[in-house]
Amino acid sequence: MIEYIYRTSIDDTIMQKAKSILSDGGLVAYPTDTSWGIGCSINSRKGIEKLKKLKGNDKNSTPTLICSSISQISEVAFLNNYHFRIIKQFTPGPYVFILNAASKIEKKITMKRTEIGVRIPDHPVPVRIVETLGSPIFSTTALKNLTGKGWLNKDYAEEYLFECGWELEYIKQVDLILDTGETLEKILSTVIDMTGPDPEIIREGVGDVSQL
């Protein structure tokens, strides 16, 4: 199902529909400041399992949460003052920050992982979804026939990423596509591991790290 929305004037009725689908364990697709994303509610075990199955139970990449604020990030991951300054500098934007996960998140994802990726995209639709739902959403990049391979390298972006919302109709597990009519570039976010003493670039994406 596709719902067409205006990026600058998002329909509350459609957002409530997205909230209902996510709360019931469904998957919602949406544009971001990089490529298309697919997400589920952090509070739905059914949705989490459905998203994990779509990803092919990938154990080679870190589960990622889309949040609407740094304050919300602090509820799902451990932040110190250094982390706060870096994230504040680079958000909103095309970055995923890997942090040590709060214990309650480890239980939700039912995986033996102590890290979690967090992201505040510079796009109103995913942020509005999170705000309407009232909690972060687990998110993955929408890909064509590629699962279980870890972080997608930017060299393969052209082959595996989508441009238009209608293309995601071929992903049968997706229950709702929120389409602003945008044609998205086939680009990826920059992934930064901040679990150690110094930031480590896990994947070079469109996000500039020259000031890191």
Statement: residue 212 has pLDDT above 90: no
Cα–Cα separations (whole angstroms), residue 90 to 35, 56, 161, 209: 18, 30, 24, 9
Q: Which pLDDT band holds residue 144 (cuts at 50, 70, 90)?
A: confident
pTM for the model = 0.92
**What pLDDT, on the 0 to 100 scale, is given for residue 106?**
63
Angle at 8 between CA 68 and CA 6, to 5 degrees: 105
Bigger pLDDT: 105 vs 26: 26
Share of the chain above pLDDT 70, in %: 91
Cα–Cα separations (whole angstroms), residue 20 to 27, 175, 190: 11, 11, 31
CB burial of 58-87 (b: ≥16 within 10 Å; e: otherwise) equals beebbbbbbbbeeebbbebbebeeebeebb
**What pLDDT, on the 0 to 100 scale, is given for residue 59?**
62
**What pLDDT, on the 0 to 100 scale, is given for residue 150?**
59
Statement: residue 52 has pLDDT above 80: yes
User: In the chain, what are the domains?
Assistant: 2-203 (3.90.870.10)
Q: Which two structure tokens, joined as six digits, stand for 123?
A: 């796009």
- 104, with CB counted inside 10 A (0-12, 13-18, 19+), is exposed
pLDDT tens, residue by residue, 67-126 = 999 999 999 999 999 999 999 999 999 999 999 988 777 666 655 668 899 999 999 999
- Kindly give the pairing relationship between strand 190-193 and strand 115-119: unpaired
pLDDT, mean over the chain: 90
Statement: residue 148 has pLDDT above 60: no
Statement: residue 58 has pLDDT above 70: no
Statement: residue 45 has pLDDT above 80: yes
Statement: residue 57 has pLDDT above 80: no
Least confident range from 1-15, 48-62, 88-102: namely 48-62
**What pLDDT, on the 0 to 100 scale, is given for residue 12?**
96
**What pLDDT, on the 0 to 100 scale, is given for residue 107?**
65
Statement: residue 146 has pLDDT above 70: no
**What pLDDT, on the 0 to 100 scale, is given for residue 168?**
95
39 close to 18: Cβ distance less than 8 angstroms: no
